[in-house]
Amino acid sequence: MSEHAPAPADLINQLLGDMHLHGVEYRRIQTGPDFGLGFEFKPGHAYFHYIAVGSAVLRCDDGSEHVLTAGDAVFMPRGEGHALVSSQKQRVSPIDSFSAAPLSDSVAGVDTCPSTHAVPSAVLLYGRMAFDLGGMQGLSKLMPSVMLAGYNDAQFAGLLPLIDSMKREVCSGRIGFAGILARLADVIAAMIVRGWVERGCDDASGLVAALRDPRLARSLLALHDDPGRDWTVDTLAAESHVSRSVFAERFQSTIGVPPLRYVTQIRMHLATRWLSVNKLPIEEVALRLGYTSQAAFSRAFKRVNGQSPGASKRNRVA
């Protein structure tokens, strides 16, 4: 590999470091022998489930089903609708229809176990998370709808100590257990995503192929390092040490969009995060992303996102 081209692992590390995943809400759920919990589609979010005691059937809106047993963790990166049921024919009720008792700032307890049962049949942790892959946001569309980390699955051996810790916290009820559960869930979900990337993303195409291509990896790394630079096709090609025509053709055929459109997509994704999560002023975001005026930035933002930066910021706060 040329000394000018970073190893694919370097670029993957760089982009994964930009991943933001944090819980919006969590529920520690206790059930009786019969239960049906429904979870609606949540764009821009991911779902996390961990089975501490008992078993459940994960029934997805696309018709697929997965049998889960104690120790299994599930990450659903696209926030698709699904249900957790005790059996395939069990009637489902929305999770929000069950009363929840606060256990900490972000975790609540749900108990659907009938009073006639002294011991719950199943104990699980559910989490809904804001999921932002930063520069790798395109990967979210390529991820499988269900990412299952089985307790006895050798490819997730590094997760076992964390899963063991989660089981102890779910079942012990020790002081501060709820906050620790939330943090463990975030870390386990992030490790599941990392494991998928390290395994080659199940041979997904597009951006993944670009990560493995030394001719594109350098320009992508430079772009993600400095998105506000005055990028042109020529300057991007220079980073890859190939001609403008070769670079443009290779970029288009691998990633599926022209180089400068990709530059704009990355900038607008960062802009959305900085405005809504980091609460930065519009003028500061425009400056960071290399726009000569707030008006020019606003035009680009509206062209990509369909609304002005101010409207986007207000809608996300709402």
Check pLDDT > 50 for residue 164. Answer: yes
Task: For 262-290, write each residue's pLDDT tens digit.
Answer: 899 889 888 888 887 778 899 999 999 99
Which residues, in sequence order, are bridge partners of residue 48?
75, 127
Whether pTM exceeds 0.75: no
The mean per-residue pLDDT over the stretch 36-41 comes to 95
Nearest CA among 305, 230, 245, 234 for reference residue 273: 305
Q: Is 313 a residue whose pLDDT tops 70? A: no
Task: Identify the H or E element spanning 275.
Answer: helix 259-276
Looking at per-residue pLDDT, the higher value among 22 and 134 belongs to 22
Which whole number is the average pLDDT over 143-171?
Answer: 80
CB count within 10 Å of CB 47 equals: 25
The residue assigned the tokens 């042109």 is 232
- Quote the pLDDT of residue 6: 47
Tokens matching residue 226: 């400095």
Residue 34 predicted with pLDDT over 90: yes
Of residues 101 and 8, more confidence is placed in 101
18 three-state secondary structure: coil
User: Quick check: 5 and 211 in contact, CB under 8 A?
Assistant: no
Percent with pLDDT over 90 in the chain = 35
Measured CA to CA, the distance from residue 205 to residue 218 in angstroms comes to 18
Q: Which residues pair with 55 in a beta bridge?
A: 69
Beta bridge partner(s), residue 23: 129
Q: Are the C-beta atoms of 205 and 40 separated by less than 8 Å?
A: no
Reported as a single tens digit per residue, the pLDDT across 101-149 is 988 877 888 998 887 777 889 999 999 988 877 666 666 666 788 988 8
Q: What number of other Cβ atoms are within 10 A of residue 280's Cβ?
A: 17
Question: What average pLDDT does this structure show over 243-258?
Answer: 88
Q: Which residue has the higher pLDDT, 89 or 41?
A: 41
Q: Judge contact between 237 and 275, C-beta under 8 A.
A: no
Task: Give the chain's mean pLDDT.
Answer: 83
